[in-house]
Amino acid sequence: MGDYLTDSETVFIVDDDPAIRIAMQALMDSVNIKHEIFSSANEFLKNESQHRAGCLVLDIRMPGIGGLDLQEELIARGNMMPIIFISGHGDIPMAVAAMQKGAVDFIQKPFRDQELLDCVRLALRTDKQQREKHEYNAKISRLLQKLTDRERDVFDLVVTGKPNKVIGYELGVSQRTVEIHRSRVMEKMQARSLADLVRMHMTL
């Protein structure tokens, strides 16, 4: 499992059944996956774990705040931590609804250890990709703020593939002026090529 886990990634397990919690803890320990166990959704929500990297393994039926309710609460808080739901046979419609709201997977009781580990692997990889995408988008937004209004105009036209001469005509400036602005856009956006600029523009 070491090929995708980092020290900061944690599997958060929320289940009201003590036997399930003990079994999952033993499973996570056996493959050296960092994990934290909670007996209720309330306990999880009171812990700052919800803001950390990782994934959530969540029982769909629990007293008080159930799994779907916890999912809704996390969505409302803007938290997109990947969730794996554990469901009983009669909970399939609920599990499908959870998937439609963004859960990465659901597994039915009783489940095999490897089935759960495979789901955890997928969820942690998903979380890492989501966080990297968020960081990249935030970086692009910060760089974009460094552009002047005219540089932003050039940026928006350059990524359409139009040549400098045409951009200059549309903006009412010389081709040389467009070249200067284009060079500054490349520098400020830390882009190495037009393809880089296009990718950045797509994130906006």
pLDDT reported for residue 124: 94
pLDDT reported for residue 2: 38
Confidence of residue 48 (pLDDT cuts 50, 70, 90): low
The pTM (predicted TM-score) of the whole model is 0.75
Domains in the chain: ranges and CATH: 10-129 (3.40.50.2300), 146-203 (1.10.10.10)
pLDDT reported for residue 4: 41
Give the number of other CB atoms < 10 A from CB of residue 168: 20
Q: What percent of the chain has pLDDT over 70?
A: 95
Q: Tens digit of pLDDT for each residue in 75-85?
A: 998 888 999 99
Report H helices in the chain.
18-30, 41-46, 67-76, 92-100, 113-144, 149-158, 164-171, 175-188, 194-203
Angular region, 102: left φ>0, alpha ψ -120 to 50, beta rest: left
The answer to whether residue 50 scores a pLDDT higher than 70 is no
Q: Tens digit of pLDDT for each residue in 1-45?
A: 333 444 578 999 999 999 999 999 999 999 999 999 999 999 999
Average pLDDT, the chain: 89
Q: Tens digit of pLDDT for each residue in 158-197?
A: 999 999 999 999 999 999 999 999 999 999 999 999 999 9
Q: What is the mean pLDDT of residues 146-155?
A: 95
Q: What is the mean pLDDT of residues 98-125?
A: 91
Structure tokens at 29: 């320990």
